[in-house]
Amino acid sequence: MKKISDAVHEIIDENPLLNFGFHHHLLNLSQVARFIRPLIEARTHKEASDSAVLMSLSRMQTKLIPKERLEEIRIDKINIHSGLCSLTVFKTREVHGELNRLFAKVQQRNGFITITEGINEITAIVEDVDFDGAVGLLSEKPRHVYRNIASVGVKFSDHVLANPGVLYRLLQQVALQNINVIEIASTATEFNIYVRERDVRLTFDSIYRRFSKRAGGLSDI
């Protein structure tokens, strides 16, 4: 027969909202115990008291505290690049050549372009002024097009690379604001998040207020 502690672990681990609140100490454990007690009883096939569930929750949270003390992330620089658009096309040899010509054309005028390649698709993000030219160079109609997007780019130091979950923790702040991420791109120490222009200020502020070096001054921002 399943133990109460095992059932508590399963329910917390399987529910993203409970898992997030539990790990960040945002929840009233007494209320959580009362809320999940019927779920515990359904899994263990026996009656469980609120106090027994609460005790299991408290022990679980205490054991997790050392694992949750992740090193604080501090970004060195954050910026916004607006007036962008993205085009996603099927990956073919012809498309590769066309995008290479587009890249060279944009680079000649020192414009903005980033290309992300997957197994079956390629996405190009360019400034809106290059949209018509990009579509004109492509022999196939783009599968997906986004206009009026912007990027929030962050730069962090090399030592941050050793920290687990860096990109997740950055995206988490955006997700908590219910902002839809259109695209992401990264290098070793830079991370760009592409969102609708209407969401770019909130995206910027959410990341800046959580990860900026305000205590020591973030002069590069």
Average pLDDT in the 35-49 region? 92
* Phi, psi values for residue 172, rounded to 5°: -60, -40
Locate the domains of the chain by residue range.
Answer: 4-66, 75-211
Nearest-angstrom CA–CA distance, 199 and 158:
29
* Phi, psi values for residue 86, rounded to 5°: -130, 145
Looking at the domain 75-211, which fold is it? VC0802-like (3.30.2130)
Nearest-angstrom CA–CA distance, 182 and 200:
11
pLDDT in tens, 63-120: 765 444 556 788 999 999 999 999 999 999 999 999 999 999 999 989 999 999 999 9
Q: What would you report as the CA-atom Rg of the chain, rounded to the nearest whole angstrom?
A: 23
pLDDT at residue 66, as a whole number: 47
Residue 96, SS3 per DSSP? helix
pLDDT at residue 33, as a whole number: 94
Average pLDDT in the 39-61 region? 91
Distance of CA 183 to the CA centre of its chain: 10
